[in-house]
């Protein structure tokens, strides 16, 4: 979603702010702007479109000064336009605000301010904030901090804010409620940012602001206050993300780099949680043996790709244990009356840990007495902080908007959880668990092997990329893989794609099949009749002249006879085959998008982290 960067220090602010904003570009945006204090007052530059447009504007009219805030906006209230771009100013031009989130009561506030003579320049909810702060100053607030605190006490909703005051030329203010914001502490300089990668090349120490906190930054340091202006405690933490990991490491896109990171990351995750004796260690879940043994119901909630991981989790946990697992899209869960209570373990799955619907579901489940744990990638994210325990997916920063390594690490996390539960609850005999751990250890290599075949996958994508639509079919463990493959394709190549359980084909989607429709069939071997059923589905597609792209197990020549193209993948236990198969589909989508010339790391209309509904 939107990005925020702020800087106070000895250097020129504009280049620092632009550099930080560029590092947040992956979040998606449609306009950008900066405000800089030059010692005598505030100056603003804004433009629609990519950061390059803002840079061109700054090249013509530079903004001098070493204190500033910057923003990339993803439109919510008001179209993408220069007037709606941040920063927004107070009517007297003495207060500049950048904002992520939504001020829910902005209409009432705007009406109230308009009645008092305020005129607005934009359609945004954000603009009410500098107006409110100006009013507090005019009403005699004792200090800039008091004016900001008083204004924020009147705002409802969610915000991460960067604020400049003309009267305090050496200060940046930051505030947070429900939207992520960090403060970076460097040597003689300080930063704010909506996400660590924005400043990872500048600082190694950060403060994660809590909800309801205001920070006052100078070059010399940081003070933190609550919304009543009283000093609040804070902790300075080390940055765990390395600067290199925020770079592309020579790959043409972040997405391709992240696809290639999967074997290493999955191997590391496995090593971290399974010791040499085959014990599964998940200490951060904070779920003791008695709790896990006593469970009878898990409810998993998530959005998008993370929801597909939850689908897989349900199939796997129900396959390996005696537990019942329900899943639901977080955006639905939060507005229903799901049957959860103190005996339910709610599992929230999220890469970013900042997804608004997932967070709302967690709050709702907590209020019903559920124990809530997350499978999450981002350390210290809002989700992690609100849950009782966490299983970190340890995928490292995911910059490409389309999720890849976060997904496979979520799948592996579910595998670890399922095996742990099966062992503790006595649902599987020990040799059965050992057999699976053995098979799991082979998965990173199998993925590596798929990556080595990427040229062949690119040739197939090149051949099929130009149609208007495609269909993805899978069964059992690979139904989520079909959905995820289709999602990847539509997200980055903009080709319409449907993912379906293959058994459903006859109940509707078969009508779509014609001689130009690519049908991706996940047909890797299984130990039972599911494979034969999938082959029958393949024949049905063939009979209607659909163009079959099959995912098949190495050496399965029979599939090659039916399919127009085959992507061979190594044999893997069916339960774990989604980890391998999805990588082939990530590459297929990737090369289709490349052939279609899209902006792969920043697909249109998408944001990396959806912090508003
Ligand atoms: C798809 C994608 C999205 C996210 C979804 C949830 O490639 O990235 O569908 O999976 O927005 O985001 P998180 O996992 O951050 O909660």
Full residue range of the structural domain in which residue 208 is found: 3-246
Instruction: Tell me how far apart the alpha carbons of residues 344 and 326 are, in angstroms, rounded to a whole number.
Output: 10
- pLDDT tens track for 312-364: 999 999 999 999 999 999 999 999 989 999 889 999 999 999 999 999 999 99
456 and 481 housed in the same domain: yes
Last residue in a domain, options 246, 271, 304: 246
Give the pLDDT mean for 103-130.
Answer: 96
Cβ 310 under 6 angstroms from ligand 1:
no
Instruction: Name the token pair of 6.
Output: 């702020």
* pLDDT at 613 (0 to 100): 77
* pLDDT at 126 (0 to 100): 97
Cβ 305 under 6 angstroms from ligand 1:
yes
* pLDDT at 244 (0 to 100): 65
Q: 28 pLDDT band (50/70/90 cuts)?
A: low
Q: Return the percentage of the chain with pLDDT > 70, whole number.
A: 99
* pLDDT at 178 (0 to 100): 86
Total domains present in the chain: 3
Q: Per the domain annotation, does 610 fall within a domain?
A: no
pLDDT at 193 over 70: yes
310 and 429 housed in the same domain: yes
3-state secondary structure 502-540: HHHHHHCHHHHCCCCCEEEEECCCCCCCHHHHHHHHHHH
257 and 145 housed in the same domain: no
pLDDT at 504 over 80: yes
Pocket test for ligand 1, best of 27, 304, 397 (most atoms within 8 A of CB): 304
Q: Return the percentage of the chain with pLDDT > 90, whole number.
A: 87
**Ligand 1: centre distance to CA 1 (Å):** 12
Cβ 402 under 6 angstroms from ligand 1:
yes
Cis check: omega of the bond before 125, within 30 degrees of 0:
no
201 and 300 housed in the same domain: no
- In terms of DSSP bridges, do strands 324-329 and 297-302 run parallel, antiparallel, or are they unpaired? parallel
- In terms of DSSP bridges, do strands 547-553 and 518-522 run parallel, antiparallel, or are they unpaired? parallel
Give the pLDDT mean for 184-196.
Answer: 95
Write the CB contacts of 187 (distance below 8 Å, at least 6 apart in sequence).
none
230 and 262 housed in the same domain: no
Active-site annotation holds for 2: yes
- Tell me how far apart the terminal alpha carbons of the chain are, to the nearest angstrom: 11
7 and 132 housed in the same domain: yes
pTM above 0.95, yes or no: no
- pLDDT tens track for 442-458: 999 999 999 999 999 99
Count the neighbouring beta carbons within 10 Å of the beta carbon of residue 188: 11
Q: Per the domain annotation, does 32 fall within a domain?
A: yes
Last residue in a domain, options 246, 277, 312: 246
Cβ 304 under 6 angstroms from ligand 1:
yes
Higher pLDDT, 591 or 79: 591
Write the CB contacts of 220 (distance below 8 Å, at least 6 apart in sequence).
188
Give the pLDDT mean for 152-157.
Answer: 96
Are 498 and 333 a contacting pair, CB within 8 Å?
Answer: no
**Ligand 1: centre distance to CA 611 (Å):** 11
What CATH number is attached to the domain comprising 460?
A: 3.40.50.10490
Active-site annotation holds for 608: yes
Give the pLDDT mean for 477-491.
Answer: 98
Cβ 486 under 6 angstroms from ligand 1:
no
Please, what is the average pLDDT of the chain?
Answer: 94
Q: 249 pLDDT band (50/70/90 cuts)?
A: confident
104 and 235 housed in the same domain: yes
Give the pLDDT mean for 91-114.
Answer: 96
201 and 213 housed in the same domain: yes
Count the neighbouring beta carbons within 10 Å of the beta carbon of residue 253: 20
- pLDDT tens track for 414-441: 999 999 999 999 999 999 999 999 999 9
pLDDT at 26 over 70: no
Q: Per the domain annotation, does 611 fall within a domain?
A: no
454 and 403 housed in the same domain: no
41 and 11 housed in the same domain: yes
185 and 309 housed in the same domain: no
Q: Per the domain annotation, does 609 fall within a domain?
A: no
**Ligand 1: centre distance to CA 303 (Å):** 6
What CATH number is attached to the domain comprising 179?
A: 3.60.20.10
Measured between alpha carbons, how far is residue 420 from residues 81, 292, 313, 415, 423 in Å?
52, 9, 13, 8, 5
424 and 458 housed in the same domain: no
Q: Per the domain annotation, does 613 fall within a domain?
A: no
Q: Per the domain annotation, does 377 fall within a domain?
A: yes
**Ligand 1: centre distance to CA 16 (Å):** 29
* pLDDT at 577 (0 to 100): 98
Q: 153 pLDDT band (50/70/90 cuts)?
A: very high
* pLDDT at 27 (0 to 100): 67
Give the pLDDT mean for 558-586.
Answer: 96
- pLDDT tens track for 37-75: 999 999 999 999 989 999 999 999 999 999 999 999 988
* pLDDT at 464 (0 to 100): 93
Q: Per the domain annotation, does 255 fall within a domain?
A: yes
Last residue in a domain, options 246, 271, 300: 246
């Amino acid at each position: 979603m939107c990005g925020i960067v702020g800087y106070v220090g000895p250097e020129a602010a504009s280049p620092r702010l632009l550099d930080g904003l560029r590092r947040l570009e992956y979040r998606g945006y449609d306009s950008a702007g900066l405000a800089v204090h030059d010692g005598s007052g505030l100056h603003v530059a804004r433009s629609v479109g990519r950061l390059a447009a803002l840079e061109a504007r700054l090249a013509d009219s530079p903004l001098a000064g070493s204190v500033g805030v910057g923003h990339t906006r993803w439109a919510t209230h008001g179209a993408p336009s220069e007037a709606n771009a941040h920063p927004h100013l107070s009517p007297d031009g003495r207060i500049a605000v950048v904002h992520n989130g939504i001020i829910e009561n902005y209409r009432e506030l705007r009406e109230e301010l308009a009645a008092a003579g305020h005129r607005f320049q934009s359609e945004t909810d954000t603009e009410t904030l500098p107006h409110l702060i100006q009013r507090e100053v005019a009403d005699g607030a004792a200090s800039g901090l008091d004016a900001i605190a008083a204004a924020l006490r009147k705002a409802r909703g969610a915000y991460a804010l960067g604020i400049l005051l003309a009267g305090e030329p050496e200060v940046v203010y930051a505030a947070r409620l429900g939207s992520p914001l960090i403060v970076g502490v460097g040597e003689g300089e300080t930063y704010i940012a909506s996400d660590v990668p924005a400043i990872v090349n500048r600082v190694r120490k950060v403060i994660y602001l809590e909800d309801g906190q205001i920070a006052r930054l100078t070059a010399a340091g940081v003070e933190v206050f609550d919304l009543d202006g009283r000093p609040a405690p804070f902790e300075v933490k080390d940055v765990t993300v390395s600067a290199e990991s925020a770079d592309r490491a020579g790959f043409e896109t972040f997405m391709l780099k992240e696809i290639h990171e999967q074997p290493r990351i999955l191997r590391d995750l496995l090593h971290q949680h399974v010791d040499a004796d085959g014990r599964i260690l998940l200490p951060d879940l904070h779920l003791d043996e008695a709790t896990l043994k006593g469970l009878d119901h898990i409810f998993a909630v998530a959005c998008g790709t993370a929801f597909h991981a939850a689908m897989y989790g349900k199939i796997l946990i129900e396959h390996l244990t005696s537990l019942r697992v329900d899943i639901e899209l977080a955006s639905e869960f939060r507005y229903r009356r799901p049957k959860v209570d103190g005996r339910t373990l709610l599992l929230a799955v999220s890469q970013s840990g900042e997804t608004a619907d997932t967070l709302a579901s967690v709050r709702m489940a907590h209020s019903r007495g559920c124990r809530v744990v997350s499978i999450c990638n981002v350390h210290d994210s809002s989700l992690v902080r609100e849950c009782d325990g966490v299983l970190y997916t340890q995928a490292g920063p995911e910059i490409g908007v389309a999720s890849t390594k976060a997904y496979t690490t979520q799948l592996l996390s579910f595998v670890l959880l399922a095996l742990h539960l099966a062992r503790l609850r006595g649902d599987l005999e020990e040799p059965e668990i050992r057999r699976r751990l053995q098979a799991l250890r082979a998965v990173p290599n199998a993925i590596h092997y798929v990556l080595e075949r990427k040229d062949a996958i690119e040739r197939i994508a090149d051949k099929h990329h130009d149609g208007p639509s495609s269909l993805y079919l899978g069964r059992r463990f690979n139904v989520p893989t079909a959905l995820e493959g289709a999602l990847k394709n539509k997200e980055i190549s903009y080709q319409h794609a449907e993912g379906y359980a293959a058994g459903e084909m006859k109940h509707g989607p078969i009508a779509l099949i014609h001689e130009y429709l690519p049908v991706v069939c996940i047909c890797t071997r299984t130990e039972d009749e599911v494979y034969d059923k999938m082959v029958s589905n393949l024949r049905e597609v063939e009979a209607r002249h659909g163009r079959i792209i099959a995912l098949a197990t190495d050496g399965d020549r029979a599939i090659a006879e039916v399919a127009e193209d085959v992507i061979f993948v190594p044999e893997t236990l069916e339960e774990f085959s989604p980890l391998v198969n999805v990588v082939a589909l990530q590459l297929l989508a990737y090369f289709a998008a490349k052939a279609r010339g899209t902006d792969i790391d920043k697909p249109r209309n998408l944001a990396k982290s959806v912090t508003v509904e």
